[in-house]
Chains A and B, each alone.
Chain A
Amino acid sequence: GDSVTQMEGPVTLSEEAFLTINCTYTATGYPSLFWYVQYPGEGLQLLLKATKADDKGSNKGFEATYRKETTSFHLEKGSVQVSDSAVYFCALEGTSYGKLTFGQGTILTVHP
């Protein structure tokens, strides 16, 4: 079946540091890929998405590129802020339309 593997956290960075959170997936066909973010006390929010190979999703300074050859969708940001502290989830939508398979989440803490 479908699966998503994220790098284990927690990740702790200083403000303005470069961020990478690795995500790899296993799926049949051509899944759509997503990054969700969950701030404390809030529901998951869609951060960015990519629906086909080589697509780059971007939002709020975050980027991720759909790499089919390496089955990866790594999340990056060039300069993180304290307000980026949250839990980040990588997810895919496979052949079952509307159903998401999530990675285990990565806790990011950014210090001033």
Chain B
Amino acid sequence: GAVVSQHPSWVICKSGTSVKIECRSLDFQATTMFWYRQFPKQSLMLMATSNEGSKATYEQGVEKDKFLINHASLTLSTLTVTSAHPEDSSFYICSARDVAGGPSDTQYFGPGTRLTVL
């Protein structure tokens, strides 16, 4: 089946630094990727929709200057948390939808990245 990877799987950084998280579709091409954030014991919250070759669409309340998203190719999207602070500590999950498009059952999820900001 379709596989989505994320790198790194976990990262610890100091407050004020920036962290980049990669999301790759390994065996299919993804025109659309989604970035989610998950707090402990809470649901996944959609942060933004990333379309290859165009600007990301951010959900209400998500700071686009803080969470920079780049989808430069059909197999890679990156999320950069700029000037990270402890409140940015969370579990970040990406998903990818293949070029055929279609409904949400054609979304494939990465295993997530645990970010801890000290």
Seen from chain A, the residues whose Cβ lies within 8 Å of a Cβ on chain B are 4, 32, 34, 36, 41-46, 49, 51, 89, 91, 93, 97-105
Known A34-B105, A99-B104, A105-B43; further 18 A-B contacts with Cβ < 8 A: A43-B95, A43-B108, A44-B95, A44-B109, A51-B103, A91-B104, A93-B103, A98-B32, A98-B104, A98-B107, A99-B46, A100-B46, A102-B43, A102-B45, A104-B41, A104-B42, A104-B43, A105-B41
Tell me which residues across on chain B come within 8 A of A91, comparing CB atoms: 104
Asked if B43 and A46 make an inter-chain contact with CB atoms under 8 angstroms apart, the answer reads no
Closest to A10 in B: B41
Interface residues of B (CB under 8 A from A): 4, 32, 34, 36, 41-46, 49, 93, 95, 97, 103-105, 107-112
Which A residues are in CB contact (< 8 Å) with B104?
A: 32, 34, 91, 93, 98-100
B interface SS class: strand
B105 touching A4 by the CB < 8 A rule?
no
Instruction: Check A99–B34 contact: CB distance below 8 A.
Output: yes
Q: Main SS of the interface on chain A?
A: strand
Q: Which residue on chain B has the smallest CB distance to residue A3?
A: B43
The residues of A that contact B110 with a CB separation of less than 8 Å are 43
- For the complex, give the distance between the alpha carbons of A97 and B110 in Å: 20
CB pair B109–A103 under 8 Å, yes or no, is no
Among the listed B41, B49, B109, which residue makes an inter-chain contact with A45, where contact means beta carbons less than 8 Å apart?
Answer: B109
- Inter-chain contacts of A51 with B (CB < 8 A): 103
